[in-house]
A and B are shown apart, each in its own frame.
Chain A
């Protein structure tokens, strides 16, 4: 696990919205909930690869824009009865700055299903 990488401020992300960070291993969606909590998931729905960053954020979930699967922001797990999981990444917020921890360089994101 690498160190914490600073990626922007909470204010950079709209409330109930998401922004994308581009990495060598693929896109990561960074979400901000109505309560200003921040979560990061691989930007691929476990169903058919839809970009979760483009979905509607509600509670601690996001609805995928392609086929409306709902994904838990904290775990990346699909909301039952759908089954599947998007990889999630540790994030922390310090003084409004968001930091993310990514797997070691070169590693592909684990796909859990």
Chain B
């Protein structure tokens, strides 16, 4: 069969990214030809600034060398500008007459810099800042010329100014507005940015409208409307970009500001696609790299005829680095009559943060000096999180709200190369920077895959994003609005779960078939999540798929780094008996258990048990009445207690019995992540209930119920949910809370993260305001417990369940 022909006009980042995505999913589908007007391969345009400033060379920023095109059988015509598209003949024609036929055409012609049509704009010495040719011109100018005027105080202009300053020129930035980067910054931030740049020797003329560029044979100066004049040997115009649509327009494709495309990036001619800066999608055009990459992905998906992905527009954040000043901006940062602002301003530290709030939701943010929380604010903004419960701490950053601490470090720019960024995986700053440059990474996901930084606990994500932004100079790729569950699907956790519930899907196979999973049997990320969603939604119907569970939950013990397992029997409320202790001691001796230790949750841990020994160990423990402690699962782990009123002279309630009752009710339940509970007998809180997922603290008149705490990477103290008087109420609220968590949190989301995402107010609304709602949750919890409260150890020790798990297939001498 003849391969279809795909022609790409434009050898830039957006078009080539689309080809890369296409080759990933359908490598053999098309016969591909690329036309580029520039005489180079594809290079990273957002790294032109570091080339200008001398920090990088052109070779450093090449993304795809010629070998890449050859390897994928792509015909590349460099330096050949396409001058016409003949849609009837389905061909494109280059200036030199080269013609290529297409079955599908992809237009990625990018944009052109805007040139102010003032008198003198055609004089030699007036240039733009757009491609490597401009950069070369500037670099050679810097060797012989002295005064440069940069027209435009936006991102591009400031980067050009910075680069030329570092090349030793005398730089003046001219800006029409009185605020620098006024598309991204408010007046205060703009002023701070200006002061910071002035201290680096760049001069500014603000509120200045260019009237004329003066000069006879070449540029000599610039005159402004208000009569001011300044000397110039070189003028760089950086006043914006305009989608390059001439070719498309001439071919009769419908254009407004850009080439109009639909959600699958098709133009009005369905054979013709367009991506990148040249397109207009839902009335918007984009000039940052993140949306271009999102478009590329969708377009490739459609070209590969797997057309279920849609591009729905991008929400933008700019996190940029201009000469050592961290700047972050997202959304509506000015606000209007209907919004309010939270502002933190610290002149001594050079820090300014402003959040624009409307209806308790973040609508925009602008930050300067300390941008480490930018990605967090952006996430809250994207998810539309209700911030009313954290607004008193919001401006101080995520470290002061709860999770994801970064040790107080906020500015990566000043860190030494050897500073450890990711403590989990031991990754230092220079390793991340080297990977970004050497391996040409653009996104947080890329950095995670290549360096492992931020891939474990995620608390250094803000720092890694900062390094990414600083290294890439301009913008970088931010996460899409709602993340897909994993790479096997485009559906988010919440969408998958909704489908399971509403379409009554009861098996992993059914979910994957109905939602058109891209990998036939999923991956190690989605299968455990799906299994959890199924058994929590349909406790009676769904079959637990052990092969989709992480080993700990399959073997019902905790795998250790040497491949042995740890065994933790349940001790109800942390209370044990001599007989139980004797049984544990006997087991430890009989099986030569290398280590016996106390856990943090008032249990005893037998460490170093071989897998084959597990059923026998469990059998022995079972004889003394000991059952699985679920210390290995995303499940209810422990209920920790203090001695309480029975013994303690301060105790006001019987916390031990309360804890036992809670544990008897909850054990065996599978949850999105591990759940720890504690009950303290008085406000001295010896059971540390206020750093548990569900914490109960006795007071004289009853029980305080606390939710959403955890120890771990970043301690999060619980929020007080409610106060009740009876132990029956404690059980009801506890069960209802757990069920709400089971039904609505995403897989692997601790209660702390979940509460921060949905807000304590929501929790109160679901659990307190409507008693029927609470009772319904509680009833569903008890219903599901009927199926869950089966001791998995007994099943395996005596019932022969999953016997193959614990026996080698064969012993070969």
**Chain A interfacial positions (CB closer than 8 Å to B):** 5, 7-8, 12-17, 19-24, 27, 30, 33-34, 48-51, 54-59, 61, 63, 65-66, 68, 70, 81, 102
- Binary CB contact string for chain B from 262 to 274 against chain A (1 if under 8 A, 0 otherwise): 0000000000000
Residue of A15, A56, A63, A66 with highest tally of chain B CB at under 10 A: A56
> CA–CA, A84 to B519, complex, Å?
24
* Closest 5 A/B residue pairs (Cβ): A63-B524, A19-B809, A16-B547, A56-B524, A54-B551
B523/A19 in contact, CB under 8 A: no
In the complex, the chain B residue whose C-beta lies closest to that of A66 is B561
Task: Give the shortest distance, in Å, between A76 (CB) and chain B (any CB).
Answer: 17
> CA–CA, A50 to B562, complex, Å?
7
Contacting residue for A15 out of B528, B547, B555, B811, CB 8 A: B547
Which B residues lie within 8 Å of A70 (CB)?
524
**Chain B interfacial positions (CB closer than 8 Å to A):** 439, 449-450, 519-524, 527-528, 546-552, 555, 559, 561, 563, 804, 808-813
In the complex, the chain B residue whose C-beta lies closest to that of A20 is B808
In the complex, the chain B residue whose C-beta lies closest to that of A17 is B547
A8/B551 in contact, CB under 8 A: no
A57/B547 in contact, CB under 8 A: yes
In the complex, the chain A residue whose C-beta lies closest to that of B807 is A19
A81/B519 in contact, CB under 8 A: no
B809/A8 in contact, CB under 8 A: yes
B521/A65 in contact, CB under 8 A: no
Known: A12-B809, A16-B548, A34-B520. 18 other contacts (CB 8 A): A5-B812, A16-B547, A20-B809, A21-B808, A22-B811, A23-B812, A34-B521, A48-B561, A51-B559, A51-B563, A54-B555, A56-B528, A56-B547, A59-B523, A65-B552, A66-B559, A81-B450, A102-B812
> CA–CA, A57 to B520, complex, Å?
12
Contacting residue for B813 out of A24, A50, A57, A66, CB 8 A: A24
> CA–CA, A65 to B632, complex, Å?
13
> CA–CA, A48 to B528, complex, Å?
23
Residue of B549, B555, B804, B813 with highest tally of chain A CB at under 10 A: B804
> CA–CA, A70 to B811, complex, Å?
27
A19/B804 in contact, CB under 8 A: yes
> CA–CA, A34 to B559, complex, Å?
24
Which A residues lie within 8 Å of B546 (CB)?
14
Between A and B, 25 residue pairs with Cβ closer than 8 Å are A5-B812, A8-B810, A13-B809, A15-B547, A16-B547, A17-B547, A19-B808, A21-B810, A21-B811, A22-B808, A24-B813, A27-B808, A33-B521, A34-B520, A50-B561, A54-B551, A55-B524, A56-B549, A58-B519, A58-B524, A59-B520, A59-B521, A66-B561, A68-B524, A81-B449
Residue of A5, A21, A51, A65 with highest tally of chain B CB at under 10 A: A65
In the complex, the chain B residue whose C-beta lies closest to that of A9 is B809
Task: Give the shortest distance, in Å, between A108 (CB) and chain B (any CB).
Answer: 15
Which A residues lie within 8 Å of B520 (CB)?
34, 59
> CA–CA, A59 to B521, complex, Å?
6
> CA–CA, A23 to B810, complex, Å?
9
Task: Give the shortest distance, in Å, between A113 (CB) and chain B (any CB).
Answer: 18
Task: Give the shortest distance, in Å, between A101 (CB) and chain B (any CB).
Answer: 12
> CA–CA, A40 to B809, complex, Å?
12
> CA–CA, A5 to B813, complex, Å?
12
B811/A65 in contact, CB under 8 A: no
> CA–CA, A37 to B202, complex, Å?
66
> CA–CA, A21 to B804, complex, Å?
12
Contacting residue for A50 out of B550, B563, B804, B808, CB 8 A: B563
Task: Give the shortest distance, in Å, between B541 (CB) and chain A (any CB).
Answer: 21
In the complex, the chain A residue whose C-beta lies closest to that of B526 is A58
Which A residues lie within 8 Å of B813 (CB)?
24
Known: A65-B559, A81-B450. A58 touches B810 (CB 8 A): no
Which B residues lie within 8 Å of A12 (CB)?
804, 809
In the complex, the chain B residue whose C-beta lies closest to that of A48 is B561
> CA–CA, A93 to B701, complex, Å?
70
Known: A48-B561, A70-B524. A56 touches B810 (CB 8 A): no
In the complex, the chain A residue whose C-beta lies closest to that of B547 is A16
> CA–CA, A48 to B560, complex, Å?
12
> CA–CA, A23 to B355, complex, Å?
63
> CA–CA, A58 to B523, complex, Å?
5
> CA–CA, A10 to B521, complex, Å?
19
> CA–CA, A83 to B439, complex, Å?
14
B523/A54 in contact, CB under 8 A: no
A54/B808 in contact, CB under 8 A: no
B550/A56 in contact, CB under 8 A: yes
In the complex, the chain B residue whose C-beta lies closest to that of A11 is B804
Task: Give the shortest distance, in Å, between B370 (CB) and chain A (any CB).
Answer: 32
> CA–CA, A50 to B546, complex, Å?
20
> CA–CA, A23 to B555, complex, Å?
22
Which A residues lie within 8 Å of B549 (CB)?
56
Which A residues lie within 8 Å of B810 (CB)?
7-8, 21-22
In the complex, the chain B residue whose C-beta lies closest to that of A32 is B547
A55/B812 in contact, CB under 8 A: no
Task: Give the shortest distance, in Å, between B728 (CB) and chain A (any CB).
Answer: 41
Contacting residue for A21 out of B550, B551, B552, B812, CB 8 A: B812
Which A residues lie within 8 Å of B811 (CB)?
21-22
In the complex, the chain A residue whose C-beta lies closest to that of B549 is A56
> CA–CA, A24 to B528, complex, Å?
34
Task: Give the shortest distance, in Å, between B485 (CB) and chain A (any CB).
Answer: 14
In the complex, the chain B residue whose C-beta lies closest to that of A12 is B809
> CA–CA, A16 to B526, complex, Å?
14
Which B residues lie within 8 Å of A65 (CB)?
550-552, 559
> CA–CA, A66 to B524, complex, Å?
13
B804/A14 in contact, CB under 8 A: yes
B551/A55 in contact, CB under 8 A: yes
In the complex, the chain A residue whose C-beta lies closest to that of B545 is A16
A58/B808 in contact, CB under 8 A: no
A24/B555 in contact, CB under 8 A: no
Task: Give the shortest distance, in Å, between A47 (CB) and chain B (any CB).
Answer: 10
> CA–CA, A5 to B812, complex, Å?
9
Contacting residue for B547 out of A14, A19, A27, A102, CB 8 A: A14
B524/A59 in contact, CB under 8 A: no
Which A residues lie within 8 Å of B527 (CB)?
56, 58
Which B residues lie within 8 Å of A55 (CB)?
524, 551
In the complex, the chain A residue whose C-beta lies closest to that of B812 is A23
Which B residues lie within 8 Å of A30 (CB)?
809
A58/B522 in contact, CB under 8 A: yes
In the complex, the chain B residue whose C-beta lies closest to that of A8 is B809
